[in-house]
Amino acid sequence: MKAEYSEILREIKSNNALLVAVSKVQPLAKIEQLYKLGHRDFGENRVQEFLEKYEKLPADIKWHLIGHLQTNKVKDIICKSNLIHAVDRIKLARKIDALSSDLNVTTRCLLQIKIAQEDSKYGYRIEQLLSQLNEGQLNFPNITWCGVMGMATYTMDMNQVRTEFRKLKDYHNLIKRSFFDNRPDFCELSMGMSGDYKVALEEGATIVRIGSKIFGPRQ
């Protein structure tokens, strides 16, 4: 695990990107191993599992919520997450804003945009997202929008993956230019997993989310 981690980290750092080690399903011991090597950014996709790990692991870990989030789970994660990657509907954003406001915090979030061809992938359709941004519906005082996130189609065809990542980068640039021009917080492009992170880095990812390539296959 250490060798894979070091090599991947070197690659990612040379691209000035951030590695989120996706620790879903992995036992605490493996997370602690990476923590001892100095790693702090970990990603989880299920709230219940995240909360159990959050309680047991050091407080200076920066937790990234990367999975689809149910509105009724938001109350459990506000103040505990460093970055929510998968905001893909206005109802979820409203809830995050309201609960953040109650607690007097601002919550850092990414807008998840659908770029894959598969039906199963979550994410905003770009037309809907642009229309909500245009109408100011996503201006929430207690949310800091930090950029966009997307998942490419699960395929061996790296040309297709590259095309999808390029599309996400274009969306990022368009949204930045149109709505967040003078907002330095809006700078993140979260894309790339074990199978496609090299392509993602070539296409300008600032955050990559890698699980199995570091920790080994999930059970």
Ligand X SMILES: *Cc1c(COP(=O)(O)O)cnc(C)c1O
| DSSP element (H, E) containing 23 | none
Contact with ligand X (CB under 6 A) among 21, 22, 69, 84: 22
x/- contact string, 156-195, with ligand X (CB under 6 A)?
A: -------------------------------------xxx
Whether residue 13 contacts residue 206, with contact meaning beta carbons closer than 8 Å, is answered with no
- Note whether 19 binds ligand X by CB under 6 A: no
Beta bridge partners of 113: 124
For the purposes of burial, counting CB atoms within 10 Å of the CB of 177, is it exposed (0-12), middle (13-18) or buried (19 or more)? exposed
- Note whether 93 binds ligand X by CB under 6 A: no
Contact with ligand X (CB under 6 A) among 101, 128, 163, 212: 212
Structure tokens, 21:
């080690």
| DSSP element (H, E) containing 212 | helix 212-215
- Note whether 201 binds ligand X by CB under 6 A: no
- Note whether 211 binds ligand X by CB under 6 A: yes
If we measure between CA atoms, which residue out of 51, 111, 55 comes closest to residue 75? 51
- Note whether 138 binds ligand X by CB under 6 A: no
Beta bridge partners of 147: 110, 188
Q: Among residues 142 and 155, whose Cβ is nearest to ligand X?
A: 155
Contact with ligand X (CB under 6 A) among 66, 78, 99, 201: 66
First to last CA, the chain: 16
Write out the residues near ligand X by the rule CB under 6 A: 22, 24, 45, 66-67, 151, 193-195, 209-213
